[in-house]
Amino acid sequence: MTKGLLHPTRRGLLMAGGAGLLSAALPGYVAAQGAPIKIGFQLHRTGIGAAYGRWYERTAQAALKAINDAGGIAGRPVEILFEDDATDPKRGSEVVDKLTQSDGCDLVMGTLFSHVVMGSAPRAGELKVPYLVCSEGYHVASGMLNRWTLQPGITDVRSQIASMAPWVSANLGKKVTMIFPDFAFGYDHRDFFTAAMAAQGGEVIAQIAIPPTETSFTKYFAQIPAETEVLYHVMVGPAVLTFVKELGEFYGSGAKPQMFGFIDSLEAVDTATPGLEFLEGTHFWEAHNRVKPADAGEHEAAYRAAVGVDDNGASVSDAADIATYSHMFSTWETLFAIKAGMEASGYAGIADRQKFVEAMEAMTDLPYGIERPQGAKVFNGKTHQVFGTQNISQVQGGKLVRVHQTSMADGAYEDAVDYTTMSF
C-alpha cells in the first residue's frame, strides 16, 4: 500500500499538525520580540516649565533616534509617546495613568518640575510602573517617594549645591548673601548651601527669599548687607530675566560683591542679552556647559549635533533659541540608562517591570561616553539617585567659559534612604 499525500500516516499527520501550529505561533512570537518598546514621556509642553519642555522633547527625540539607529533596545525598536502635563501635579498624575493604562507604555519618564514628580509618583507606585524622573530634585534621594521612582540621568540639587561651596569659599569670599525663590526649590539651596559653606569655614550672612508671584525685585536687593562678599542667586520661572536685569540696574556701574548664580536664573536666556552686561566676570553653576569648552570630551560634538545645538548653546536653526543645556542632557542620559537597564534585566514586556527596577538598582559605575555626554556618573541603587561632576563657569566676553570642574566627592552626602529594602 503506497503512502503519499492522499494517504498520510498518523505520524505524518501529527508532524504536519505540529508544523502548522508552530508556523501559526511563530509570527506572533517574532512580532512580540520585534514589537516596539513604548516609553511614555511626561512633558512640560505648557505651563511654567514650557521653556524646559521644548528642549526636553528635542533631546529625547534625538536620543531616541540614536538608540533606534543603533538597533533599538535588545533588538527591539523604541517609540516615545509624549503627553503634556501642563507642569501641573494633578494633571501629571493623570498623564502617568494615561500613558500606562491607556497607551500601554512600558515605563514613564521625563518629568522635570519637582511638584509634578511629587504629584505623579504615588500613581506610578500604585500602577507599579517604573517612573524615571529628570528633575534634579532631592525628593528621590531623600526617601520621600517609592521604589518605582528613580533618577538615573541627573545629579540631585543637594549634591550640586554642596559641591559648589569649596570653590566659592576658596575663590570668591566667605561672607555670602543668598537670594532664592520662596518655595521648596529655593529652600534646598538655602539649607544645603548654608550648611556646605559652614563646613568650608564660610558663613551665609543673609537669606533673602522672594515669593514666586513676585514680578519686581529691586526692593529685595536693598536687603543685601553691605559686608556681603558673595551674592548667591538662583531664580526660576517667567520673571528670571526681569530679576537678573533689575539686579544689574541695582548695582549699576558701582562696586558690587562677587556674584555666583545657578544657571537656572538664565536657562534659555542669552547671556549677551542687552542689560546683562553687568554679569561680565560673574560665575555660574552649570551641569553641562552651554558654551562648548575648549577641552570638551570626545563625544560632546556628536551630542551637540544630535540635539541640534551649536557651540554657543543655541539651536543650530535659530541662534536666538538658547537651549536649556544644563538640564536637557538628563533626558538623553535617562533614555540610555533605560536601554542599559532593560538589556541587563532581559526585559521582554510589562511583566518584567520589577526586574527592570532591580537591574537599575544594581547599576553603579556609569562611564563617560555618548550615552553620558555630561560626564561619568555613579548610580546609587539604594537611593535611586545618580551622581556626577559639576562645572563653574565665568561670563567672559558675554559667554560662559568653564573655569572649574568639581569632583564627585565634593557633592557626596550620607544616604537618607535604602529603597531596596522597600517592597514593590
Closest CB 143 distance from other proteins, rounded Å: 11
- Pick from 122, 173, 297, 398 the residue near other proteins by CB under 8 A: 122
Task: Give CA separation, 34 vs 25, 30, 356, in Å.
Answer: 14, 6, 19
Measured on CA atoms in the order 120, 211, 50, 192, is the torsion positive or negative?
Answer: negative
| CA–CA gap between residue 88 and residue 85 (Å, rounded) | 6
Q: Helix, strand or coil for residue 272?
A: coil
Residues between 153 and 192 with contacts to other proteins, criterion CB under 8 A: 182-185, 187
Q: Is 46 in the site for other proteins (CB under 8 A)?
A: yes
Task: Give CA separation, 332 vs 28, 195, 226, 369, in Å.
Answer: 32, 32, 44, 12
Closest CB 119 distance from other proteins, rounded Å: 5
**Cβ closest to other proteins, residue 81 vs residue 206:** 81
Q: Is 237 in the site for other proteins (CB under 8 A)?
A: no
Residues between 195 and 214 with contacts to other proteins, criterion CB under 8 A: 211-213
Task: Enumerate residues 6+ apart whose C-beta is below 8 A from 237.
Answer: 48, 181, 212
Q: Interface mask (CB under 8 A) for other proteins, residues 81-120, using x and -?
A: x-xx-x-xxx--xx--xx--xx-----------xx--xx-
**Cβ closest to other proteins, residue 53 vs residue 375:** 53
Closest CB 56 distance from other proteins, rounded Å: 13
Q: Is 340 in the site for other proteins (CB under 8 A)?
A: no
| CA–CA gap between residue 390 and residue 402 (Å, rounded) | 10
**Cβ closest to other proteins, residue 58 vs residue 288:** 58
| CA–CA gap between residue 42 and residue 269 (Å, rounded) | 24
Produce one character per residue of 352-368: b if its CB has 16 or more CB atoms within 10 Å, e if not.
bbebbbbbbbebeebeb
Task: Enumerate residues 6+ apart whose C-beta is below 8 A from 19.
Answer: none
Give the number of residues in contact with other proteins, rule: CB under 8 A: 37
Q: Is 248 in the site for other proteins (CB under 8 A)?
A: no
Give the footprint of other proteins on this chain (CB under 8 A): 45-46, 50, 81, 83-84, 86, 88-90, 93-94, 97-98, 101-102, 114-115, 118-119, 121-123, 126, 137, 139, 144-146, 182-185, 187, 211-213
